[in-house]
A and B are shown apart, each in its own frame.
Chain A
């Protein structure tokens, strides 16, 4: 019997199988038909999930990737299909998420001739991908797929885009599906230099007021367990960044929560008063630093990052270690001894007591209260996604995270509309987990069409719309820095979200009073036949604190609403 020759689309699907792909999220179109056809003709086990928008596809794949640590795959057509993914690619790029975006493309002889639905997506996405390909020969498909997964998932992960002209996916593929990689320029740092580990250990030994700052890199490298061992051995307090939430248990006595613009007062105070900062896998985002020149100015600064180009980008370190975070922490663990941090920990405990995260339960219902109640009802075990805005900051403050990859949010890009599709992706990755999405009335309206996707697959995600009838975070800035001149922030005209959910075939709930909070949330948690949307009417004009005004040093953090008029912030956003 002669072996049947695969076409490019079929070879592509086989290669995706070889990479362990479980799902592809996307929408078809003329240029992508051979790929979608191959899903049928190869009888693949990869599940094709039809989304309702390509941005949704990209965020769903991203949420899947963040929750599982595996690459997420989006599959879209050329032109507008491809351009619709760009926000999703930026989101993944900013947060180092392994995302593979497969785009159909006009046939190669038509490239550059304004063919129907031709878009130079390869060129358009160049600044927001880790790498990208325009495949010109069918026989290159196997190599390209293998390279793409390797690049997306190793080192500092990131999105890889593959543009596939229709003639390439339609043509015959005779290449070996396990074709060798050709990546002479791709180097991934691995183990740390032992001399540097000794330098770090030496610096730690001299420290009386150390802090460990753990970022997303610690999660990506699966360093949570050794990190905890290290902190406990040193008796050093740990703060995790917004994206690093879960790299160290937030309920641990050594946890300081997260630092930065809306982080805990005690984390920011620790940064102002420490004599050493050990950064494991954070890129020193500007939302953490306040004013870069003042940040940890008098402390010994140690930066461990797998990406060499992050060293000295924002903060000049005294010691830099370019290596895998897990291997770095494990190596350190062997060379450190307990530090004398009793006095320091006592001081920080005092700050925790004096400046706890707090809110008033009296008066109208607060977002914080809703989030805290959900935290209690789920025992802190849910996979939480948060959209972008005030509710995001409060979700991060009041839903404490103890385990890796359980708090998913768009940090670097701050992409409104990320929350719901990310929750869908997380639920696909963990069908039995409780997945909760905290979203705003603004952000929910950016991608809520994906409720269809969730309904179709009976995903029991809990979408909590914290409805303040405002683009709340922007309104907060206008109130604090622009004399409360509200401009373009009133969400008058919002739909009835519970009814909207019902129209999609999802379950809708409303919470209007504190008295209903616990009961209705419990009902939502007990409903598992598909997604539900819980519209919660909350205080309209509450503000998030603590707050470090953009561009100001952490020392200037406002713990409570200011009593004086604030200058316009000088920091970027």
Chain B
């Protein structure tokens, strides 16, 4: 089979790997990226379908040419069933963030207005703090977090991107 190279101008790539759930598999994959100088921006690992397999969604930065090789090298690891680059493809992309802000009771209304606009939910509330949960595409999260800088941030946790192919296709 001739190899089909996906070369995009993007520097940020969304990859998805389906792997056997065995010890060391994450370390092996991380090493392939590190050896070629790719930085992993986000990584989500979770059980995929059955407990024997895991799904990894990896967002990585680096030049597209080297990335193709990284993908092939990840793909050839014994415990990896497949690894695909979904950058630029029509896929469902979601991310979740928890944002804890230092908000006094008098400021709550304004925060909740911003939250409502983005469909974020309040998941925890105290006299000094308010924790929001927002899900969606990463740029939507970025937009809300941008507005939320108005209040002192206590902490922020983002899950990193997960992606899934549209329609009946597999990721």
Which of A's residues lie within 8 Å of B, judged by CB?
122-123, 126-127, 130-132, 134, 151, 182-186, 193, 196, 307-309, 311-313, 319-320, 322
Which among B1, B20, B75, B79 is the interface contact of A309 at CB below 8 angstroms? B75
Q: Is the pair A312, B2 in contact by a Cβ cutoff of 8 Å?
A: no
Could you say which residues of chain A place their CB within 8 Å of the CB of B19? Answer: 185
Rounded to whole angstroms, the CA-CA distance of A320 and B27 in the bound complex is 30
Could you say which residues of chain B place their CB within 8 Å of the CB of A123? Answer: 27
Interface: B9 (CB within 8 A):
no
Interface: B142 (CB within 8 A):
no
Q: Is the pair B24, A130 in contact by a Cβ cutoff of 8 Å?
A: no
Q: Is the pair A185, B24 in contact by a Cβ cutoff of 8 Å?
A: no
Could you say which residues of chain B place their CB within 8 Å of the CB of A184? Answer: 20, 52-53, 81
Minimum C-beta distance from B54 to chain A (A): 11
Rounded to whole angstroms, the CA-CA distance of A186 and B25 in the bound complex is 13
Minimum C-beta distance from A542 to chain B (A): 38
Which among A131, A193, A308 is the interface contact of B75 at CB below 8 angstroms? A308
Interface: B28 (CB within 8 A):
yes
B56-106 contacts to A (CB < 8 Å) = 68-69, 72-73, 75-81
Interface: B126 (CB within 8 A):
no
Q: Is the pair A307, B76 in contact by a Cβ cutoff of 8 Å?
A: yes
Minimum C-beta distance from A217 to chain B (A): 15
Which of B's residues lie within 8 Å of A, judged by CB?
1-3, 5, 19-20, 23-24, 27-28, 31, 35, 52-53, 68-69, 72-73, 75-81
Minimum C-beta distance from B139 to chain A (A): 32
Rounded to whole angstroms, the CA-CA distance of A122 and B27 in the bound complex is 11
Q: List 20 A-B contacts (CB under 8 A).
A: A126-B24, A127-B31, A132-B24, A134-B23, A182-B20, A183-B78, A184-B81, A185-B77, A185-B80, A193-B1, A196-B1, A196-B2, A309-B73, A309-B75, A312-B3, A312-B5, A319-B2, A320-B3, A322-B1, A322-B3
Could you say which residues of chain B place their CB within 8 Å of the CB of A182? Answer: 20
Minimum C-beta distance from B47 to chain A (A): 15
Rounded to whole angstroms, the CA-CA distance of A313 and B77 in the bound complex is 17
Minimum C-beta distance from A71 to chain B (A): 16
Rounded to whole angstroms, the CA-CA distance of A182 and B53 in the bound complex is 12
Rounded to whole angstroms, the CA-CA distance of A311 and B78 in the bound complex is 19
Task: List 7 additional A-B contacts (Cβ < 8 Å) besides A183-B78, A308-B76, A312-B69.
Answer: A132-B24, A134-B23, A184-B52, A309-B76, A311-B72, A313-B69, A322-B1
Could you say which residues of chain B place their CB within 8 Å of the CB of A319? Answer: 2
Minimum C-beta distance from A202 to chain B (A): 14
Could you say which residues of chain A place their CB within 8 Å of the CB of B77? Answer: 131, 185
Minimum C-beta distance from A465 to chain B (A): 37
Which among B2, B31, B76, B80 is the interface contact of A126 at CB below 8 angstroms? B31
Rounded to whole angstroms, the CA-CA distance of A127 and B53 in the bound complex is 23
Q: Is the pair A312, B23 in contact by a Cβ cutoff of 8 Å?
A: no
Minimum C-beta distance from B15 to chain A (A): 15
- Given contacts A131-B78, A184-B20, whether A126 and B72 have CB atoms under 8 Å apart is no
Q: Is the pair B24, A122 in contact by a Cβ cutoff of 8 Å?
A: yes
Which among B3, B53, B79, B81 is the interface contact of A308 at CB below 8 angstroms? B3
Q: Is the pair B78, A186 in contact by a Cβ cutoff of 8 Å?
A: yes
Could you say which residues of chain B place their CB within 8 Å of the CB of A320? Answer: 1-3
Minimum C-beta distance from A135 to chain B (A): 11
Could you say which residues of chain A place their CB within 8 Å of the CB of B80? Answer: 185
The 4 closest A-B pairs by CB, nearest first: A309-B72, A131-B78, A185-B81, A309-B73
- Given contacts A196-B2, A312-B5, whether A185 and B73 have CB atoms under 8 Å apart is no
Q: Which residue of B lies closest to A186 (CB)?
A: B78
Could you say which residues of chain B place their CB within 8 Å of the CB of A322? Answer: 1, 3
Rounded to whole angstroms, the CA-CA distance of A183 and B20 in the bound complex is 9
Rounded to whole angstroms, the CA-CA distance of A307 and B76 in the bound complex is 8
Q: Is the pair B68, A185 in contact by a Cβ cutoff of 8 Å?
A: no
Q: Is the pair B68, A312 in contact by a Cβ cutoff of 8 Å?
A: yes
Rounded to whole angstroms, the CA-CA distance of A308 and B80 in the bound complex is 14
Rounded to whole angstroms, the CA-CA distance of A140 and B68 in the bound complex is 35
Q: Is the pair A311, B27 in contact by a Cβ cutoff of 8 Å?
A: no
Q: Which residue of B lies closest to A151 (CB)?
A: B78
Minimum C-beta distance from A323 to chain B (A): 9
Rounded to whole angstroms, the CA-CA distance of A182 and B81 in the bound complex is 12
Minimum C-beta distance from B129 to chain A (A): 37
Minimum C-beta distance from B7 to chain A (A): 11
Rounded to whole angstroms, the CA-CA distance of A184 and B76 in the bound complex is 12
Q: Is the pair B35, A127 in contact by a Cβ cutoff of 8 Å?
A: yes
Which among B53, B69, B78 is the interface contact of A130 at CB below 8 angstroms? B78
Rounded to whole angstroms, the CA-CA distance of A123 and B26 in the bound complex is 12
Q: Which residue of A lies closest to B52 (CB)?
A: A184
Q: Is the pair A126, B27 in contact by a Cβ cutoff of 8 Å?
A: yes
Rounded to whole angstroms, the CA-CA distance of A126 and B27 in the bound complex is 8
Could you say which residues of chain B place their CB within 8 Å of the CB of A127? Answer: 31, 35
Q: Which residue of B lies closest to A160 (CB)?
A: B78
Rounded to whole angstroms, the CA-CA distance of A130 and B78 in the bound complex is 8
Could you say which residues of chain B place their CB within 8 Å of the CB of A122? Answer: 24
Rounded to whole angstroms, the CA-CA distance of A132 and B2 in the bound complex is 30
Minimum C-beta distance from B12 to chain A (A): 22
Could you say which residues of chain B place their CB within 8 Å of the CB of A196? Answer: 1-2
Q: Which residue of A lies closest to B2 (CB)?
A: A320
- Given contacts A123-B27, A185-B19, whether A308 and B35 have CB atoms under 8 Å apart is no
Minimum C-beta distance from B53 to chain A (A): 8
Q: Which residue of A lies closest to B34 (CB)?
A: A127
- Given contacts A131-B78, A185-B19, A320-B2, whether A309 and B31 have CB atoms under 8 Å apart is no
